[in-house]
Amino acid sequence: MAAATILSCRYLLICSATLALLLLRLCSGLSLDTVREFLTREEDTVVFGLIERAKYPRNTPAYDPAGYLAGGGHGHDASFAEMFVRESEAVQAKAGRYQSLQEIPFFPFRVPFTLAPPYNFTTELYSAAALVNVNDAIWSMYFNELLPLLAKNGDDGNYAATVSSDLVCLQALSRRINYGRYVAEVKFIGDQQNYTTLIRNKDTDALMKLLTSEAQEDVVKRRVQKKAMVFGQNVTLDGPVETGNSNSSQTSFKVDPSLVYKLYDKWVIPLTKQVEVEYLLHRLD
């Protein structure tokens, strides 16, 4: 009898917690439409960030730890770019940037206080899964694979401006990709029975298949490519200069539209889905 009572109490607690979480979703306005709207707006930020970075050459010394040490790096085994990101995040953390779960630093640290006015951010994410992120993969992808394709060879010495634009790109990509946690939460709430079964079975392949919409992904990739074409034109008083189509050479645009398509096709969308799966695997913890 006692065991049955305990089970009943646990069931009521779980139901109450689920109901409270669902009510919170309704109050915060988190839905598939709001999630897609956020991701669509983030496309603009990503494209503009790439355009800004593309105006600087590679500036290789900014990414060489040995070069930074030779320039007086005070023994830090890190490049100038890494130290710039670390120090920038430290300042932004004190200003309250990472109070919102939408923002995840690349170098986590504890900040005892914030200078920002207090704000009660909503907690739409399930707490046991909220810390899932792929920032390490984003960091590696950006510097090792994307940047060599984005920036032309050369060195103009503008290292501070260059790595500052890197930081903007990194933060935009991190925010966009790790927002997959919110996507996963909305999808879980919308189809709780199917997701629960797959999560309990740890069936990652089936989870990936269930959350994938190839048609929607194709729309996203073609849309960001078009945004790169539109945003990347040289505008005059007589209107945009003729730039041809998406197959034009990179010199026709401020950033190659086909590269933006590739970014989403090869990295952004797959990493976002990786975040979604990892979040879902912890959704019943």
Least confident of 49-63, 64-78, 146-160, 218-232: 64-78
Instruction: Tell me the pLDDT of the chain averaged across its residues.
Output: 86
CA distances from 89 to 56, 78, 93, 184, 268 (A): 22, 15, 6, 27, 22
Query: Which pLDDT belongs to residue 11?
Result: 40
Q: What is the pLDDT of residues 228-273, one digit of tens each?
A: 999 999 888 876 665 545 454 445 899 999 999 999 999 999 999 9
pLDDT range class, residue 148, cuts 50, 70, 90:
very high
* CATH class given for the domain over 31-235+251-282: mainly alpha
What residues does each domain of the chain span?
Answer: 31-235+251-282
182 by Cβ neighbours in 10 Å (0-12 / 13-18 / 19+) ranks as: buried
Residue 178, beta-bridge partner list: none
